[in-house]
Amino acid sequence: MSDRPASLAIVTGASSGIGFELAKRCAENGFDLLIAADEPEIHAAADELRTLGVKVEAVEADLASMEGVEELYAATRKRRVDALLANAGRGLGKGFLDQDFAEARRVVDTNITGTLYLIQKVGRDMRARGSGRILITGSIAGFIPGTYQAVYNATKAFLDSFSFALRHEIRDHGVTVTCLMPGATETEFFERADMLDTKVGQAKKDDPAEVARIGFEAMMRGDGDVVSGWKNKLQSAIASVTPAAVLAEQHKRMAKPGSGER
């Protein structure tokens, strides 16, 4: 048996949904795991992931805060991180002027600030070592102005763009950056974003396990980006040639509060 320790993956937002499924994929492929989320449920997720036969450490930390990110980074204890799956994120429905500003800011701080801070810390180590894989969960929402979900879609536009740019900054240093761009997926996301009364909240959605499989495989191949599912591929291709005003109006029909009531 080799004495070499198993590869280590960090997966954020691994307590549920796409992040839990990404962590599962990593474990099934032999990665030990360092997983994080903000609520105690992360420990139950860790227990379940341990049944797959890998070492799993869970950190309960608010990744919207610098301290939370530092706590997660400290938990690596200077071990080599082979893969960083920066997936934690949250949405927020309703009109921007009607949103609680603290909640809107939390979306920005989680999806953008905390994600960037963690990627910079872990990414510097990867570049110094000359190897590593980074997966960022963006979204096809990043291609579409998100009427009634304006802040969220804008954070995903940021991440989609950032991901491509970072990839081209560090590709010659042996580090790959992949952006996973899911469409609407069956997770706790819409309930947590208070969007269950919307058309998109009630629509049939993609399977998070399938979305994670597609993202994990793209990361392992070192692809630049992957849109999960053919319908989403079509939607993103159409979005790229559709005026922003038309997209914003279409999004309104999907995300307006009450639009899902029969």
Catalytic (active-site) positions: 152, 156
185-214 binders of ligand NAP (CB under 6 A) = 185, 187-189, 192
CB of 57 to ligand NAP, least distance (A): 15
User: With contact defined as beta carbons under 8 Å apart, do 212 and 24 qualify?
Assistant: yes
Cα–Cα distance for residue pair 231/130, rounded to 1 Å: 37
Among 11, 31, 38, 255, binds ligand NAP (CB under 6 A): 38
Residues whose CB is less than 8 angstroms from the CB of residue 230 and which lie 6 or more positions away in sequence, other chains included: none
> In terms of CB distance, is 158 or 173 closer to ligand NAP?
158
CB of 49 to ligand NAP, least distance (A): 13
Stretch binding ligand NAP (CB under 6 A), from 2-10, 25-33, 77-85, 86-94 = 86-94
Stretch binding ligand NAP (CB under 6 A), from 7-15, 92-100, 143-151, 161-169 = 7-15
Cα–Cα distance for residue pair 211/180, rounded to 1 Å: 9
CB of 212 to ligand NAP, least distance (A): 9
* DSSP H helices in the chain: 17-28, 41-50, 66-74, 101-108, 115-129, 150-170, 189-192, 199-202, 208-221, 230-239, 244-255
Q: What are phi and psi of 69, to 5 degrees?
A: -65, -40
Q: What are phi and psi of 59, to 5 degrees?
A: -120, 125
Among 89, 132, 215, 260, binds ligand NAP (CB under 6 A): 89
Locus of tokens 């919307």: 198
CB of 116 to ligand NAP, least distance (A): 13
The secondary structure element, H or E, covering residue 33 is: strand 32-37
Stretch binding ligand NAP (CB under 6 A), from 51-59, 168-176, 182-190, 249-257 = 182-190
146 is a contact residue toward ligand NAP (CB under 6 A): no
90 is a contact residue toward ligand NAP (CB under 6 A): yes
Closest of 156, 157, 135 to residue 225, by C-alpha:
135
Binding positions for ligand NAP, rule: CB under 6 A:
13-19, 37-39, 62-64, 87-90, 110, 137, 139, 182, 184-185, 187-189, 192
